[in-house]
């Protein structure tokens, strides 16, 4: 099951996350980038700590 980003203003141009599947662009749903659960958790942890530009999630 794919979930759209809550940061997408209109729900069309966004990143979608598939638990146990990966990440895809909502404009090209046929293709996706596989991401393991541990890699996704590491990415979220880094993003929340401001590693990618100081923003907060």
How many residues in total does the chain contain? 57
The candidate with the shortest Cα–Cα distance to 17, out of 32, 28, 27, 38, is: 32
C-beta separation of 44 from 31 below 8 A: no
Please state the domain extents for the chain.
2-48
Q: Over the stretch 2-52, which tens digit does the pLDDT of each residue have?
A: 888 777 777 677 888 887 788 888 888 888 899 888 888 898 898 888 887
Is 0.85 surpassed by the pTM of this model?
Answer: no
Q: How confident is the model at residue 54 (pLDDT cuts 50, 70, 90)?
A: low
C-beta separation of 21 from 31 below 8 A: no
């Amino acid at each position: 099951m794919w979930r759209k980003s809550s940061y997408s203003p209109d729900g069309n141009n966004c990143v979608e996350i598939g638990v146990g599947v990966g990440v895809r662009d909502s404009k090209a749903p046929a293709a996706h980038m596989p991401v393991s659960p541990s890699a996704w958790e590491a990415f979220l942890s880094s993003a929340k700590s401001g590693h990618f530009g100081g923003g907060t999630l």
